[in-house]
Amino acid sequence: MNEKQTQLPGAIVTGSSRGIGAAIAERLACAGYGVCVNYLRNEERAREVVARIEVAGGRAMAVQADVGDFNAVCTLVERTAMAYDGLRIIANNAGLSEHRTLAEMSIEDWNRSIAVNLSSAMFTTKAALEHLRQQPWARVVNICSLRAMIGSDHGAQYASAKSGLIGLTKSLALELAPSITVNAVSPGYTRTDMTRDSLERHGERIFAKIPAGRAAEPEEIAALVAFLASEEAGYISGQTINANGGIYM
pLDDT-above-70 percentage for the chain: 98
pLDDT in tens, 133-174: 999 999 999 999 999 999 999 999 999 999 999 999 999 999
* pLDDT tens digit sequence for 50-63: 999 999 999 999 99
The mean pLDDT value of the chain amounts to: 95
Reply yes or no on domain 7-243 having CATH 3.50.50.60.
Answer: no
pTM (predicted TM-score): 0.95
Q: What is the pLDDT of residue 193?
A: 85
Instruction: Give the catalytic positions in this structure.
Output: 158
Q: At what angle do helices 156-176 and 120-133 cross, to 10 degrees?
A: 20
Say whether pLDDT at 3 is over 50: no
- The mean pLDDT value for 51-80 works out to 98
Domains in the chain: boundaries: 7-243
List, in sequence order, the alpha helices (H) in 134-234: 147-150, 156-176, 196-209, 218-228
